[in-house]
Amino acid sequence: MRGREAYRVWREIGTRWADNDAYGHVNNTVHYQWFDTAVNAWLIEAGLLDVAAGDPIGLVVETGCRYARALSYPETVEIGLAVERIGGSSVRYRLGVFARGSDAPAAEGFFVHVYVGRADRRPVPLPDDWRRAFAAIAG
C-alpha cells in the first residue's frame, strides 16, 4: 500500500457513532462514502462541480478498496486524494485512508468518474480547464 507521499490533496473526516458495525469497527461501506466526499469536495473547491446546474457531471462507473487495518469511532481519518489517470471523458482517482497522524494507510482505493452531459448522460470530452485542474493533483 502507498504512503502519504502518493497523495496531493487531503480531507479530514470525523468518524461517527453510526459508522461502527456489529464488530466494533467502521463498516467497509463507509470507506466509499469517504471517497465520494473527498472527491466531490475537491471538485467543488476547484470550481469544477456545481451540483445544482453544472455541466458536465461525473457519474461513478467503478470503485474499489483494499483494507489494511480497522478503524473505529471516535477516530478521525485523513483521506488522501490524487488523480491516477486522465482519459478523454474520464478520470481515475486514487484515495488513501489514514488514521489521523498515521504514516501507514488503513485502506486504499480508487474511484472512476465518467463525465457526461447533464441532459443526455452521454460522455463528453473533458474541458481544458478541468484537465489542468486534474493534472495539478496527478501523481
Q: What is the pLDDT of residues 35-90, one digit of tens each?
A: 999 999 999 999 999 999 999 999 999 999 999 999 999 999 999 999 999 999 99
All 3 cell numbers of residue 11?
A: 480531507
Answer for the pair 38, 12: CB distance below 8 angstroms, yes or no. no
Give the C-alpha separation, 84 to 96, whole Å: 12
pTM for the predicted model, two decimal places: 0.95
Identify the CATH number of the domain in which residue 85 sits.
3.10.129.10
How many independent structural domains does the chain possess?
Answer: 1
Domain of residue 65, residue span: 4-136
All 3 cell numbers of residue 85?
A: 489517470
**Residue 79: how many other CB atoms lie within 10 Å:** 24
From the list 32, 88, 21, the residue with the least C-alpha distance to 65 is 32
Q: With pLDDT > 70 as the criterion, what percentage of the chain qualifies?
A: 100
